[in-house]
Amino acid sequence: MKPTPKFKLAPLLAFGAHPDDIEFGCGGVIANETRAGRAAHFVICSRGEAGTHGTPKQRTMEAKKSAALLGATVEFIELDGDAHLEVRVAHVIKLAGILRRIRPGIVLAPSLVENQHPDHAKLGRIVRDATRLARYGGLKELRKSPPHAVDQLFYYAVTPEAEPRDITPVLIDVSAPEIVAAWTAAMAAHASQVRARNYIELQLARARLNGLRAGIGHAIALFPNDPLVLDSLLQMSRSARRF
């Protein structure tokens, strides 16, 4: 059983380039956090309009349904459009503004590995830079909202190719049956996408593999942007080396 937090937790904020990226990349982590009492909010940066399957309208509805299944709220923003994203300072500042509004503890973003859908790595870089600019007091575009420093930025990998090779991952235990169920349902809610390809199987196989490594059911790898800081090793008592 997960502990009830004694103090109000800073919310989790997850960014996705397309309507289904967060769910496929780390939906189980979201379910795990909301169940533990943390608020979660999604910011989705396109309607997936360049994809082969699904209309923008369909995909928006799927994303809303999926977020609800994970216990998260969701908003859509306009950057450059699906498959058209560029890394611009204007985007960085826009996201920094969202960070100052939501004031999250944990931020999740797609990984920086370039050999994947180009929007993923670009959004990852925009989010990374936004977590810095959100801290700078003199930024005139954001003068009205007070600076905000997040606790930690983690990257998620939408596909195996997107897993960074130069960051040691942390594995989040998502083995509880209700977590796996919520995650699977959230992925299935993206009906237009899962009809065409084996995305759910891919993600569950990845999580199962991580689970087998850790001697548990399922686990999702996250990749910290900065070294973790611990009060003591009491916080850190499990590792993945079962085989």
> Site residues for a copy of itself, window 170-229 (CB under 8 A)?
170-173, 197-199, 201-202, 205-206, 208-209, 212-214, 216, 219, 221-222, 224-229
- Residue 65 makes contact with a copy of itself by CB under 8 A: no
Q: Which of residues 31-60 bind a copy of itself (CB under 8 A)?
A: 32-33, 36, 38, 48-53
CA distance 88 to 77: 15
Stretch that binds a copy of itself, among 60-68, 70-78, 123-131, 183-191 (CB under 8 A): 123-131
CA distance 50 to 137: 37
- Residue 4 makes contact with a copy of itself by CB under 8 A: no
Q: Which of 68, 161, 181, 195 binds a copy of itself (CB under 8 A)?
A: 161
Pairing between β-strand 72-76 and β-strand 106-110 as defined by DSSP bridges: unpaired
User: Helix (H, G, I), strand (E, B), or coil: what is residue 91?
Assistant: helix
Nearer Cβ to a copy of itself, position 49 or 71?
Answer: 49
Structure tokens at 68: 């609800």
Nearer Cβ to a copy of itself, position 68 or 160?
Answer: 160
- Residue 148 makes contact with a copy of itself by CB under 8 A: no
CA distance 47 to 56: 5
Q: Which of 13, 14, 29, 44 binds a copy of itself (CB under 8 A)?
A: 29
Q: For the window 71-90, what string marks contact with a copy of itself as x by the rule CB under 8 A?
A: ---------x-xxxxx-xx-
CB of 90 to a copy of itself, least distance (A): 9
Give the helix/strand (H/E) hosting 76. strand 72-76
Structure tokens at 70: 């994970």
Structure tokens at 223: 């990749």
Q: Between the CA atoms of 26, 30, 36 and 41, what dihedral angle is there, to the nearest 10 degrees?
A: 150
Total interface residues for a copy of itself by CB under 8 A = 97
Q: Which of 105, 178, 181, 195 binds a copy of itself (CB under 8 A)?
A: 105
User: For the chain, how long is the longest CA-to-CA vector?
Assistant: 53
CA distance 227 to 216: 25
User: Helix (H, G, I), strand (E, B), or coil: what is residue 153?
Assistant: strand
Nearer Cβ to a copy of itself, position 185 or 202?
Answer: 202
Q: Which residue has the tokens 């009205």?
A: 144
Structure tokens at 129: 């830079």
CB of 170 to a copy of itself, least distance (A): 5
Q: Which of 133, 180, 187, 189 binds a copy of itself (CB under 8 A)?
A: 133
CB of 206 to a copy of itself, least distance (A): 6
